C-alpha cells in the first residue's frame, strides 16, 4: 500500500514527453522503482540495510586490494603477508568504511590480541571487515563507540601511526581497480 503511494505517478513515465525543472522522482537502487522525490528519503531509510549491503559488496573487494604491509599497524608489519591481509588493518579500515557508509567506529578488546576496531552502520548492523585476521574461534566482544578524533589522534593512535596509514589506505583505495 505504502509502496504504491511512494511510486511516482508522473505522466512522464507513460510516454508523455514532459520536461521537469526538478526531477519528479529518483530510482531506488534497491527495488529499482521510481520513488517520488518527496518520499525518497523515507523510502531510502526503509531500505537502509539493503543499501548498505549493496555498497559494502562494491567497496569490500577494493578495500582488500588496498591492504598492504605498510597500511598494517607497526607491530604487525613484520608478520604481515598476503595470506592474512587483514592483519593489523582494523583501525584504518574502520575509518575508511565510515567515510564510505557513515555510522560509528566501535573499539573493543580481543583477548590475546588487544585493541580491535569495527563499524556500526547507520542501520545498526555491524560490519567487521578485518575480523578474519583472527583465528575463526576468536570471540570478539561488543565494544564502545569512539569518535574519529580518538581513533586518529589518541596517544595510542599516534604511536601506531594510524593517521598516516589511513591516508595511505585511502589513497590506495582510490586508485585500485578489482581485477588488477
- 28 part of the interface to Zn ion, by CB under 5 A: yes
Q: Is 48 in the site for Zn ion (CB under 5 A)?
A: no
Residues 118, 160: Cα–Cα separation, whole Å: 17
71 touches Zn ion by CB under 5 A: no
Pick the piece of the chain touching Zn ion (CB under 5 A) from 26-34, 65-73, 81-89, 152-160.
26-34
Q: In this complex, which beta carbon is closest to Zn ion, that of residue 40 or of residue 67? A: 40
Nearest residue to 35 via CA among 5, 11, 8, 2: 8
Residue-wise DSSP of 76-141: HHTT--TTSTTTT-HHHHHHHHHHHH--EEEEEEETTTEEEEEEE-TTS-EE-TTGGGS-TT----
Backbone angles phi, psi at 145, to 5 degrees: -65, 145
Nearer to Zn ion, 9 or 178 (CB): 9
Which is closer to Zn ion, CB of 70 or CB of 125? 125
Check binding of 65 to Zn ion (CB under 5 A). Answer: no
User: What is the rounded distance in angstroms from the CA atom of residue 22 to the CA atom of residue 30?
Assistant: 22
The answer to whether the beta carbons of residues 180 and 70 sit under 8 Å apart is no
State the nearest-atom distance from the C-beta of 42 to Zn ion, in Å. Answer: 11
Among 3, 4, 6, 12, binds Zn ion (CB under 5 A): 12
Question: Which one, 13 or 58, has the nearer CB to Zn ion?
Answer: 13
- Selected from 4, 17, 21, 31, the binder of Zn ion by CB under 5 A is 31
What's the closest the beta carbon of residue 101 comes to Zn ion, in angstroms?
A: 18
Amino acid at each position: 500500500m505504502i509502496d504504491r503511494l511512494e511510486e511516482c505517478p508522473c505522466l512522464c513515465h507513460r510516454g508523455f514527453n514532459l520536461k521537469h525543472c526538478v526531477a519528479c522522482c529518483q530510482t531506488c537502487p534497491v527495488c529499482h522503482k521510481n520513488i517520488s522525490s518527496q518520499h525518497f528519503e523515507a523510502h531510502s531509510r526503509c531500505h537502509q540495510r539493503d543499501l548498505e549491503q549493496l555498497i559494502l559488496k562494491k567497496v569490500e573487494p577494493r578495500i582488500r586490494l588496498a591492504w598492504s604491509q605498510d597500511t598494517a599497524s607497526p607491530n604487525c608489519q613484520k608478520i604481515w603477508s598476503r595470506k592474512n591481509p587483514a592483519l593489523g588493518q582494523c583501525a584504518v579500515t574502520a575509518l575508511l568504511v565510515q567515510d564510505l557508509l557513515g555510522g560509528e567506529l566501535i573499539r573493543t578488546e580481543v583477548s590475546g590480541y588487544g585493541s580491535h576496531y569495527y563499524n556500526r552502520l547507520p542501520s545498526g548492523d555491524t560490519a567487521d571487515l578485518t575480523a578474519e585476521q583472527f583465528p575463526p574461534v576468536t570471540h570478539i566482544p561488543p565494544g564502545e563507540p569512539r569518535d574519529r578524533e580518538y581513533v586518529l589522534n589518541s596517544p595510542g593512535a599516534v604511536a601506531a601511526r594510524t593517521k598516516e596509514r589511513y591516508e595511505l589506505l585511502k589513497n590506495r583505495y582510490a586508485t585500485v581497480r578489482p581485477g588488477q
